[in-house]
Every structure is written in structure tokens, then in C-alpha cells.
Copies of this chain bind each other. A is one copy, B any other.
Amino acid sequence: MAGNTFGELFRLTTFGESHGPAIGGVVDGCPPGIKLSEADIQPFLDKRRPGQSKFTTQRQEADQVKILSGVFEGKTTGTPIGLLIENTDQRSKDYGDIKDKFRPGHADYSYFAKYGQRDYRGGGRSSARETAVRVAGGAVAQKVLTHILGKAAKVRGALVQMGPIDIDYRNWSWAQIGKNPFFCPDAKAVQQWEAYLADIRKTGSSTGAVVEIQASGIPAGLGEPVFDRIDADIAKALMSIPAVKGVEIGEGFAAASLTGEENADEIRRGTDGQPEFLANHAGGTLGGISSGQDIIARFAVKPTSSILTPRKTVTTKIQNTDIITKGRHDPCVGIRAVPVGEAMMALVLTDHLLRHRAQNG
């Protein structure tokens, strides 16, 4: 397994480079009989699409997805869904001067060490451009979740920290998220971030961020102990997003400082006769299996390494040199990571939903 397939039963296989003719993928294992068209996928791609505000890269990509197979008369057939997105803005010249140098913080050197060569055009396969296909696959996953679980099943994300500035959770408003260029749920933080990021952008610098993904309406019982726990697969899914350096579930790293009394969520009989948790420190998973509570995960995104400040590096012949990464870059790649995180969460949940059905009928 060379790494370009995600999932066991609901599987996304992707291909494509930043500056090749197209990127695309195959969704295999999709249940039959689900309404699906390009119009279901495009809105998700549009959220991730570059060039929508001054705070993201100015590369212009239509990111128009085409469904090549697996749908007939408006419904999925159960056969593989081929997805294709043509690259339209491949202005390669922008990247010409990095041909012979390894950009610090990028995958240039590690790819070269691995494969003995590399596609230097915009990072080739290591470019975050591949995440567009993840978003397309995640859109299909969302359709499956809704089809099987109903409308209550929702996967949503938000930016909760930019650089050193985090949101105030008491101000959380899902409605706010669509109203600012940051997917920020806290109107007050939006103002601070705007000022902060304008500054970062002006100096040609970049900043890190933290994204939170919440999944609600997910039944108890998903996850396969002992290795393919739902939290373990979420951790892999989110850590596989370019630039991500940490993942946590529920209390996450804060749990290290807690006592058992503070951390374990007590249970009561709910009004519907079902168990009801009195808190959600666990983030919706116990022993790696979903508990029926909201699943809550966060991931940290590092600042992009493409900055205007000259940096020390070596050439591909291992000679000392300096590099400035010009071009069209996101000052905070964490912003566009929000829809990607949603997609990865949707892929994990759909996969585990199908896995659960297999063993438990």
C-alpha cells in the first residue's frame, strides 16, 4: 500500500500533482441508491477553493469536479465513483527558482531522499492541492452519512485559534462561520484575526492555527478495537492533512493535568430512557468506540514555510545557499484546512459506519 488510499470499506484513492493536467480520485464502497451529482460536491470544493479572499493564495482554480462513473440516473450504483478536477492555473514559472533548492519546512528534501527525484513544480504531489480531492471525497461521505443516519448527522469545522489568539468558546455561533473569511465561530475573534493576519501578510510572513471539527448525530458503537479505534483513525486522518502537527480528542492534552474525578464523564438515565452523559470531556469516544456524544477533535496547523524572509538551505547538490519563497501563498494555511478537516472526519465516520454494519448487521 503506497499510501494514496484512505479507508477500508469506504475508500478514497487519490492522484495528481500541483502542476499536472488534473487531480482526481476514486471513491469505492459507496452504498447504492444515494442521490448524487456534481452539485452535491461543488459547494464543499468552493469552501476550500483558493483566491476567495485576500487572506488566501491568489492562485485561481475553478476546482470544477466531474463525476466520471458510479452514478446512473442521478443515483449511486454501488460501483466506484471516478472524480476529476482539471488544473487550470498552473503558472509554473512562479516556482522555477526552487527547482534546485530544498525549501526549509517543505517536503522538498524528504521527497528527494525518498524517491531520488522530485516534481519541483509547486511541490508536485506534496502540494496541498491534493486536498481538493479529499474534499470531494468527503462530500460524498457526507451524503452517505445523511442517507444512513438522517439529517441529524453533521460534520462541521471551525478555526478556533490563529497564531497566539484563540476564540472565546462562550461566543461560539455556527451561523457566524459562514460570515467571515476564517471559518471563525466567534465574531469578536474575527476582528482580532483580521488585524493580526493583515500584519503577517504584509511582512510576507505566515502563522499557525488550530482547527476544531465536531461531528454530531453519530450513533454509539462505531470504532474497531484495539488498533482501528475511532479516535485513532481520526488522529491519522487529521494528521495526514498537510502541515498538521498535532491532534487531540475531547480534553486532549489538557487531560494530562486532570484527575479522574474531573475527567470521567458521569452518566444518567436520559428522558428517552437512554444513557445521557453529564459532560463530554471524552470528546465522544470511550475505549476507541463512539459513545453517541458529539465527537470533538482539534488539530494544530503549522505556519506555511513559504515566506519572503531569506532562509538558509542547500541546493540539490548539497551546497549552502539562501532561498526566498515568492509566489502565491496562504499566510495562514489553517484557514483552508477547515473544509479539509471536515472531509477527513466525514471519511472516517462513513468508513466506520460501514465497518460496523459488516460485523453487527
Report if A79-B225 is in contact (Cβ < 8 Å); known contacts: A259-B207, A361-B357: yes
Write out the residue numbers on chain B whose beta carbons fall within 8 Å of the beta carbon of A17. 69-70, 72, 79
Write out the residue numbers on chain B whose beta carbons fall within 8 Å of the beta carbon of A157. none
Interchain CA distance A20-B81 in the complex, whole Å = 11
Q: In this complex, what residue of B is CB-closest to A102?
A: B267
B355 and A266 form a contact (CB under 8 A): no
Q: Does A239 contact B (CB under 8 A)?
A: yes
Question: Looking at the complex, which one of B104, B126, B224, B357 makes contact with A265 (CB distance below 8 Å)?
Answer: B104
Write out the residue numbers on chain B whose beta carbons fall within 8 Å of the beta carbon of A37. none
A31 and B258 form a contact (CB under 8 A): no
Question: Looking at the complex, which one of B82, B303, B356 makes contact with A263 (CB distance below 8 Å)?
Answer: B303
A220 and B114 form a contact (CB under 8 A): yes
Interchain CA distance A221-B110 in the complex, whole Å = 6
Q: Does A236 contact B (CB under 8 A)?
A: yes
Write out the residue numbers on chain B whose beta carbons fall within 8 Å of the beta carbon of A210. 253, 256
**Which secondary structure dominates where chain A touches chain B?**
mixed
Q: In this complex, what residue of B is CB-closest to A27?
A: B15
Tell me the A40-75 residues at the B interface (CB within 8 Å): 66, 68-70, 72, 75
Q: Give a binary string over A266-297; 1 marks a CB under 8 Å from any B CB, 0 the rest.
A: 11110001110010001101111111100000
Q: Does A161 contact B (CB under 8 A)?
A: yes
Min CB gap A111→B, angstroms: 6
Q: Does A228 contact B (CB under 8 A)?
A: yes
Q: Does A150 contact B (CB under 8 A)?
A: no
Tell me the A193-225 residues at the B interface (CB within 8 Å): 200, 205-210, 219-225
Q: Does A96 contact B (CB under 8 A)?
A: no
Q: Does A32 contact B (CB under 8 A)?
A: yes
A130 and B226 form a contact (CB under 8 A): yes
B240 and A232 form a contact (CB under 8 A): yes
A357 and B355 form a contact (CB under 8 A): no
User: Which of A168-176, A183-191, A243-251 touches B?
Assistant: A243-251
Interchain CA distance A267-B104 in the complex, whole Å = 7
Q: Does A109 contact B (CB under 8 A)?
A: yes
